[in-house]
A and B are shown apart, each in its own frame.
Chain A
Amino acid sequence: MSTPTIEARGLCKSFGPVRANHNISFSVDAGELFCLFGENGAGKSTLSACLTGLYPPNDGDILFKGEPLRMASAADAIRSGIGLVHQHFVLVPDFTVLENIVIGSEKGLIVPYKEAEAKLRQICETYGIEIEPNALVRDLSVGERQWAELLKALYFDADLLILDEPTATLDIENSKKLFRIIDKLKADGVALILISHFLDEVMQADRVAVLRQGELVGIRKTAETTPEELTRMMVGRDVEPKHREHSDVGPARLVLENVTVAGVGQVPDLNDVSFTIHQGEILGIAGVAGNGQNPLMEVIAGVRRPAFGRIILDGVVISDKAARDIKDMGLGHIPDDRFVEGLVPELSIEENLILGDHRGEYARGAFLDFPKMRQRAEQAIKEFQISTPSADIPAGNLSGGNAQRVILAREKRLATKVLLANQPTRGLDIGVIEYIHTRLLEKRAEGVAMLIASSELEDLLSLCDRIGVLFQGRLMGIVKTDQTNLEEIGLLMAGQPLENAA
């Protein structure tokens, strides 16, 4: 049997008392796609950092092509044949793609730009990556930046390529393209480690290692396992199938009439959108992010103004009201970007929980009502299982899932009539997603009208009564969840109009 490209033996890594990796052993062969699967915080990123030499392990060995791994820096790693494609971009915006790739990685003072450019173009052609090496990174789209990251790894003829959540910023089409490239790399004998928590992707690997709380739960061949088994291994228990209580749909609660929101140029951000959501009904909005989901949510919440059309809440026109008045009428809004739109990261959890109500409910005379704030915070932390040592921790220190719980705690309480949720589960683990679904469904049972935009179709199919699709600011159609299928929604998302709209 040939030597595996990389092999970990009893790897341990701790940060103080936190055990990030404990006694992990596995190996990856040349030409194999190996997946690390686990919840956020399960130890996937620490493991990849150990494999690339960023962190020295506390115990255990790493063998790269049969030799013990000795690396002083990431540049060392890349030169010896280990490439890492980051989840977060580490490109310099004011450098070109080419400069980002060669500077600091090439040895010597003089950088052979000409040769480097030729080699880069060659790679682009081989793998079908369309990117201009001389374009400034600043001018690239998010998706293109991901390709630039990948190119960086390919440029150095890596024997081992580690991909950390590579599809997080890619749309469906580009994700498919990425997997075509991965196939090619496999054929070229590259060993690949994919870090992911998307089951779809995970199942495309050859083998899957499931991590939970820093420990290796087990390794499975994908051909011999099922998504259900992997999920069970990851969460450590059976995931209950979501059961949606049928609630009676009441009278109309939120009505949009021909709502148009102006865009930057000629094209409106939202174009002539009309729909009705009834009491106790959930309307889902499917569609690739950036097709008008944010303007839709923001115009209903009063953060943006419609150029045309009306929005009516329980018979009252709200499209000319200020955001705080709409909020006071009983509207909650879980925005798209947790740490920019939803929270003030530097303020404490306690303070974030009263954001927006600091002049109302939580003010006593001219002052903030600190006892009441504290009481509210303690109750919310308990009720929403926010894991934090104290309510005084800045919200920015929370993980994505916990941050979303803080927002959920705040908005769920406000939403007595309408709840808007924009990508409520993006980037979260299955456990958290499940929890959020449960809490959202509680609101539905209370007769709240809900609008949920998500790029995860699974989300929508399991939550919504009806699903609408936004494409380039237009509502392509609305279908009933129990009368549709993935193909139909897929067509809508691709901009194909619907014949039998619900």
Chain B
Amino acid sequence: MIELVPRSSTGWRAQLAAYALALVLGFTTSALLIAASGASIIEGFGALYEGAFGSQEAILQSLVAATPLIFTGLATVIAFRAEIWSIGQEGQVFAGAMCGYWATLYLGDAPGLVSIPVIILAAMIGGALMGGFCGWLKTRFQVNEIISTVMLNYVIVYLLSYLLAGGPWTEEGSTSYHQTPVFTDNFHLPLLVDDVKLHIGFALALVAAAICWVILKKTPLGFEIRALGFNPTALRFKGVNVTRTVLIIMCISGALSALAGVSEIFGVNHRLRGDVMTGIGFTGIIVGMIGGLNPIGAVIAALLFGALANGSLYMSVLSDIPPSLVPAMQGILLLFFLTASVLVRYSIKFKGPAHV
């Protein structure tokens, strides 16, 4: 029998070493794969590096790619720390973008100073309601949150499909691409750096990470989140309103995911469509896990993911590596990272059978 035993604590050096080793092994395996395909390893990795960190422009592009993942990563951290297994980030990203768009329909030509906060607020409310709904199902009817959130993901994705495929939000004269008209300038998230599309969503994501860290470490709510994750029974015995705590956690998690939708739609694409948001929520779960369910860790993991995404893009454009190999490489690196993140937190014990 193999058993995973939680480690009491792992020093940062050991953690660093584990992730560095994962990186090395991941790249070695990828290199073998590239060599097998006949492409040049140096050219491939050179392009990957260029895209990830090679120039100011590339770095800024990586940050743009990381931004929504920071939000969904944080959403994962908040929920999973309380051992609430919400898989609803994907749908909440959509819900956020949709509620933000809904708000624009009433904002007309209101200046950005007014419209942007309204959009953000509307999105957060939308995401929070969606998360909160699953929290309510969990606390009121004992509906498992994994099931309810996954189901709701489908509902919201198809709702957007309906709205955009000839439904009321469809751009006139273009039913085919499932998109709204392009937003007017007052609905664009302001840019932090001109020409590279790095928008205030990135700054907002860092602020959100800081707030999450403070909540978890310094507030009574964070205390409850941690305690709830470890032992809800003791909380109940101490008279803590566990129902309320679960609802609050789900609302916060939903609101964070919603911000990912805002940042992707209002910061980058400037019109609402579904395909550009696909996967942000699910990737956020991985980001949160690799980040060790820690807000700072999630930011670092998201930045790595963003760099990897942009690096992969450069790799597929600039090198001769077959296009199908690039996502495979991403998968390989991810697997090594996930393995490292498990090994950092658990040690593996090989146990004999029952008689010990």
Contact = CB atoms under 8 A, between A and B. Distances in A.
Contact of A301 (B237, B352, B356): B237
Interface stretch (A20-28, A246-254, A359-367): A359-367
Nearest to B227: A344
Contacts of B224: 358
Interface in B320-356: 352-356
Contact of B231 (A152, A302, A345): A345
A340 interface: yes
A303 B241 contact: no
Given A347-B226, A347-B230, A100 B354 contact: yes
Nearest to A370: B218
A189 interface: no
A351 B223 contact: yes
B356 A355 contact: no
Most B CB atoms within 10 A — which of A302, A344, A347, A367?
A344
A255 B71 CA distance: 53
Interface in B234-255: 234-241
B117 to A, nearest CB: 22
A416 B354 CA distance: 49
A336 to B, nearest CB: 10
A323 B223 CA distance: 19
Given A323-B239, A356-B238, A104 B353 contact: yes
B278 interface: no
B241 A363 contact: no
Most A CB atoms within 10 A — which of B220, B236, B238, B241?
B238
Contacts of B231: 340, 343-346
Contact of A356 (B219, B240, B352): B240
Contacts of B8: 394
B234 A343 contact: yes
A338 B7 CA distance: 22
A104 B236 contact: no
A342 B220 contact: no
Nearest to A103: B353
B300 to A, nearest CB: 24
A104 B352 contact: yes
A323 B236 contact: yes
Contacts of A347: 226-227, 230
Interface string A333-353: 101000011111111000100
Nearest to A77: B355
B230 A92 contact: no
Nearest to B217: A368
Contacts of A75: 352, 355
Given A340-B231, A345-B230, A90 B355 contact: yes
A93 B226 CA distance: 30
B233 A340 contact: yes
A317 B219 CA distance: 33
Interface in B192-236: 218-220, 223-224, 226-227, 230-231, 233-236
B219 A90 contact: no
Contacts of A95: 354
A335 B236 CA distance: 12
B103 to A, nearest CB: 28
A359 B220 contact: yes
A324 B218 contact: no
B302 to A, nearest CB: 26
Contact of A358 (B220, B234, B352, B356): B220
Given A75-B355, A368-B223, A344 B240 contact: no
Given A90-B354, A367-B218, A368-B223, A344 B241 contact: no
Contacts of A359: 220
A335 B226 contact: no
Most B CB atoms within 10 A — which of A73, A326, A341, A370?
A341
Nearest to B228: A344
Nearest to B218: A367
Nearest to B230: A346
A78 B223 CA distance: 47
B210 to A, nearest CB: 14
Contacts of A367: 218-220
A91 B354 contact: yes
Nearest to A74: B356
B237 A323 contact: yes
A322 interface: yes
B48 to A, nearest CB: 39
Nearest to B9: A394
Contact of A355 (B234, B241, B352, B353): B234
B218 A327 contact: no
Contact of B234 (A92, A344, A368): A344
Contact of B355 (A105, A325, A370): A105
B26 to A, nearest CB: 31
Given A91-B354, A359-B220, A341 B233 contact: yes
Contacts of A355: 227, 234-235, 238
A337 to B, nearest CB: 8
A69 to B, nearest CB: 18
Contacts of A90: 354-356
B237 A341 contact: yes
B217 to A, nearest CB: 9
A486 B315 CA distance: 84
A303 B234 contact: no
Nearest to B226: A347
Nearest to A322: B239
A83 to B, nearest CB: 11
B215 to A, nearest CB: 9
17 contacts: A74-B356, A95-B354, A103-B354, A104-B355, A303-B239, A323-B239, A340-B233, A341-B237, A342-B237, A343-B231, A344-B227, A344-B231, A346-B230, A346-B231, A355-B227, A366-B219, A368-B218
Instruction: Give 5 closest A-B pairs by Cβ, nearest first.
Output: A356-B238, A324-B239, A323-B239, A104-B353, A346-B230
Given A92-B353, A356-B238, 12 more contacts: A74-B356, A75-B352, A103-B353, A103-B355, A302-B239, A324-B238, A324-B241, A344-B226, A344-B234, A347-B227, A355-B227, A359-B220
Interface of A: 73-75, 78, 90-92, 95, 100, 103-105, 152, 298, 301-303, 322-327, 333, 335, 340-347, 351, 355-356, 358-359, 362-363, 366-368, 370, 394
